[in-house]
Each structure stands twice: as structure tokens, then as C-alpha cells.
Amino acid sequence: MKSTLEPGLTHRFSFTVPETKTVPCLYPEAPEFQEMPQVFATGFMVGLMEWACVQLLAPHLDAGEGSLGVHIDVSHTAATPPGFTVAVEAECVAVDGRKVAFRVRAHDGVDPIGEGRHERMVVAWDKFNARVGAKAAAVSVAG
């Protein structure tokens, strides 16, 4: 991770909500979700907030590094129909070793729709993938 990553950095990202990012599409196998309105799903909003944070981090990572979400605490306060464009603002608020904290906010052009805090851990992909591979191998041997 480069020394350029510091609190105060911001990034804004916009995304137009397709029908495939609505509540019934979150888990198509869940009949309970199929009965819900066709509005932007909280799970997809969280993913959009993570995406904005990943983009903020990208220029500050070294080759072979990436990040993983390790904590999310956000509200989802307004419904957004498909076709609306959601803008997410991410701000780096703390860097503690490999852990990076962000304030995130989302707006659909009419209403603020969500806000909160997100944390990501910067990892070396080769080491991370080796640990996940070892975990998968341990389960397949035990099973």
C-alpha cells in the first residue's frame, strides 16, 4: 500500500439502477423476495458503496494488492426505482495499518437513500488466495 492513502481522500461514483438490481433479483430462489417491490435492493446498495471504496483505494495500492470488505454499518432510508441514477460518495476517514475506514453516502437524485461506515482490509492477493485454497482443501479432505 502506498503512502498516498490518507484520511480526507474522496471518490464519487454513479450507477444507473437496472431492474436486475431490485429486491426480487437479490435472491431469485427466495419466494419472500419475489413478493417485495421492484426497488433498488439494500444488498446491491451495499455492494455499490463497496465498489466506490474499492475505486477510491485502487490508485493507492501496490501491484498484487486488493481489498476485502470486513465491516459495514449503513442505513437504507429511501426506495429507488429502476432507471434512477444513484451517486455514491466515499471518503477515507482512517488508515490503521492495512485497515481502511470510509464514510459512505448514497443519493438517487431525489432523496438521500443511505449512509454509514465501511471498513476494508488491504491484502496481498497471492497470500489471501493461498489461505483460501488451504481452507478449501482442508474441508474437502475432512468431508
**Per residue, what are the HEC states of the chain?**
CCCCCCCCCEEEEEEECCHHHEHHHHCCCCHHHHCCCCCECHHHHHHHHHHHHHHHHHHHCCCCEEEEEEEEEEEECCCCCCCCEEEEEEEEEEEECCEEEEEEEEECCCCEEEEEEEEEEEEEHHHHHHHHHHHHHHHHHHC
Domain positions in the chain are 9-141
120 labeled part of a ligand binding site: yes
Q: Kindly name the residue from 6, 10, 29, 76 that is annotated as catalytic.
A: 76
- Report the predicted TM-score, pTM, of the whole model to 2 decimal places: 0.94
Is 3.10.129.10 the CATH number for 9-141? Answer: yes
Q: What is the pLDDT of residue 143?
A: 62
131 marked as binding residue = no
pLDDT band at 37 (very low <50, low <70, confident <90, very high): very high
- Look up 118 and say whether it is catalytic: no
Q: Is the pLDDT of residue 139 over 90?
A: no
**Annotated active-site residue in 11, 50, 91, 115:** 50
